[in-house]
Structure 1
């Protein structure tokens, strides 16, 4: 499948378009919560700019092409350069993004459990963040320029009151404590509640898109 990913923006908002064979097939738009068109690809300035770029690929300062996408499954992390990152289906899990916007190098971890692993399992928050950070630096990211955003950690079972069963809260707390201990600035977070999330990260401007299972979209 030949997918092209475009990021475009103007004074009103910004959007990511996934295209196949020069046809727009999916979008993430910062105006989606207020736009009556939603994902229908009706006529608007950003959609028209993307369609025009696909037809005539002359340089457009407000359009950037990304080099593909990577999705981290449960307990995994993925790193890349100038790629769209995803962690989908987050309930009590947390999607953690590390990025060095100056180089375009970024990573995303799909954290399942709090704490560290004795044998290097990256489903644990501390282990995943440590390994992802190390691999990003090997790839060329600069530690002093790396920042973090994360989302997830919902309380899937609403009526569970025992603290040990509140795995979402524990995951979010473990992620935050690890980032603080690593001196990584936390630029944004969206955690807790009782709703599932999908997380998408755009390395061009460092924006993290949180899409709730109930439909609302948050840009951080």
Structure 2
């Protein structure tokens, strides 16, 4: 059975809950003190609401069931509404999310290289951001209301050449410059460092979940 994905807003935290056959199999919580993990007590309000929603016993729940998840592979972008958008295995690559708060239409690009290419391939930052923005507008997004969050651009292979070591920094700079040139406001970012990331974007509320390869989770 395909996973169900719940977005749970509570007084203390927001959480994204992965479930299968009404069993919680994965969680991301915005507040570490309320994180529904193995170390969290059974009465955690996030877990209580998630279980109640799955079992149909929670009245007046604000929980929202997402329509699924879409993953942007290297050099790709995906666009959706009411979904969880993902860019996985980011090293020097950058995951760029665009979001229109007024319509909920969102996009996620998995940027591999800085700059632009004449062939229009979306592995380059400029091509990916422009193409994704334009397609979002075609689907009903309002141009002036589109904002951006992005993460990645790590230096994880220290033994490689100087040029290769700099690709993460160049990707970050290219993404920043492209967004500013296109007048897309940057409302959140987490970049650089030496640790790989997985990036998930919640198209319901515009939150970005960043899971580091060392297990740390950050919400922006």
TM-score w.r.t. the length of structure 2 is 0.93
- Inter-partner Cα distance in structure 2 for 1:78 and 1:57: 34
Contact kept? 1:79, 1:106, Cα under 8 Å: yes
1:112-168 CA-to-partner distances (Å, cap 9, x unmatched) read: 000001111110000000110011011111111100000000112336683564000
- Inter-partner Cα distance in structure 2 for 1:114 and 1:38: 37
Contact kept? 1:156, 1:194, Cα under 8 Å: yes
Contact kept? 2:87, 2:109, Cα under 8 Å: yes
Gaps of 5+ in 2: none
What SS does the corresponding residue of 2:210 show, helix, strand or coil? strand
Q: Does 1:6 align with 2:6?
A: yes
User: Judging changes above 3 Å, is the alpha-carbon distance between structure 1 residues 36 and 130 closer, same or farther for their aligned structure 2 residues?
Assistant: closer
User: Judging changes above 3 Å, is the alpha-carbon distance between structure 1 residues 50 and 41 closer, same or farther for their aligned structure 2 residues?
Assistant: farther
Structure 1 counterpart of 2:20:
20
Contact kept? 2:53, 2:61, Cα under 8 Å: no
1:1-48 CA-to-partner distances (Å, cap 9, x unmatched) read: 32211111222111100111111111111134x458625775211111
Indicate the RMSD between aligned Cα atoms, in angstroms.
1.9
Structure 2 counterpart of 1:109:
109
User: Judging changes above 3 Å, is the alpha-carbon distance between structure 1 residues 16 and 37 closer, same or farther for their aligned structure 2 residues?
Assistant: closer
Contact kept? 2:29, 2:35, Cα under 8 Å: no
What SS does the corresponding residue of 2:168 show, helix, strand or coil? helix
1:164-208 CA-to-partner distances (Å, cap 9, x unmatched) read: 640000000000100000000000111111110110111221110
| Aligned pairs, number | 219
Gaps of 5+ in 1: none
TM-score w.r.t. the length of structure 1 is 0.93
User: Judging changes above 3 Å, is the alpha-carbon distance between structure 1 residues 47 and 164 closer, same or farther for their aligned structure 2 residues?
Assistant: closer
